[in-house]
């Protein structure tokens, strides 16, 4: 039997399985249950378990609910969190805060959320269409964690709709700005 592993920057996982962040679902209790199930069934905890998506600006501004969402169990390693962001300055500050306060071992950037309340504000799956802003946000996160070993990954969709595909540019831009990996949700926001 061949074992498949996954390396994301400085993080080496024995399994390529990643529990995707789900709003209102992937809190510390749910992630703990998933890890317990993996351990019971396989004898190891080898994948990556990402916490709920948090807003970079709310983290920087000290929002109590957001801070609570960044809670990890004592046995959770690597600790992975996902940012929703539309602003390079807040992205930089939030990623720097994660690094300075040892809040996580990995940061994933969410550019795939299709929810209208997110896309109406220019975020989520709408943001890669604004290529320069997209690149500036990824660059800000990478710069904020430079030298810390915290990898930045980027998740995006094929595009907004069938007439507006952005995935190829988004992948190239993310790689050029220093993202350790990209993930494609292979559907459009529509």
Active site residue 34: no
pLDDT tens, 44-70?
A: 888 899 999 999 999 999 999 999 999
pTM value is 0.93
Q: Which one-letter DSSP state was computed for residue 127? A: G
* Average pLDDT for 177-182: 97
Contacts for 113 with CB less than 8 Å, ≥ 6 apart: 53, 84, 119, 123, 124, 125
pLDDT tens digits, 90-136 = 999 999 999 999 999 999 999 998 988 888 888 899 999 999 999 99
Considering the candidates 113, 118, 141, 173, report the single residue annotated as catalytic: 113
- Output the CA–CA distances (angstroms, integers) from residue 59 to 92, 111, 144, 171, 186, in the order listed: 11, 18, 15, 26, 29
Upstream peptide bond of 186 is cis (omega within 30 degrees of 0)? no
Task: Say yes or no to pLDDT of 172 above 80.
Answer: yes
Paired tokens of 23: 């709003």
What are φ and ψ of residue 53, in 5° steps? -65, 130
pLDDT digits (tens, 9 = 90+) for 63-90: 999 999 999 999 899 999 999 999 999 9
């Amino acid at each position: 039997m061949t074992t498949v592993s996954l390396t994301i920057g400085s993080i080496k996982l024995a399994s390529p399985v990643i529990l995707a962040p789900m709003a209102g679902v992937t809190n510390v209790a749910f992630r703990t249950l998933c890890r317990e199930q993996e351990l019971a069934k396989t004898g190891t905890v080898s994948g990556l378990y990402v916490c709920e998506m948090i807003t970079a600006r709310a983290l920087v501004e000290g929002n109590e609910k957001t801070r609570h969402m960044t809670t990890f169990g004592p046995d959770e390693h690597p600790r992975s969190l996902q940012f929703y962001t539309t602003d390079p300055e807040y992205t930089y500050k939030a990623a720097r805060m994660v690094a300075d306060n040892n809040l996580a071992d990995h940061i994933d950037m969410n550019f795939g959320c299709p929810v209208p309340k997110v896309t109406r504000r220019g975020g989520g799956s709408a943001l890669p269409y604004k290529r320069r802003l997209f690149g500036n946000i990824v660059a800000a996160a990478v710069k904020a964690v430079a030298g810390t070993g915290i990898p930045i990954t980027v998740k995006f969709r094929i595009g907004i709709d069938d007439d507006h595909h952005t995935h190829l540019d988004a992948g190239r831009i993310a790689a050029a700005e220093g993202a350790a990996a990209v993930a494609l949700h292979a559907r459009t926001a529509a």
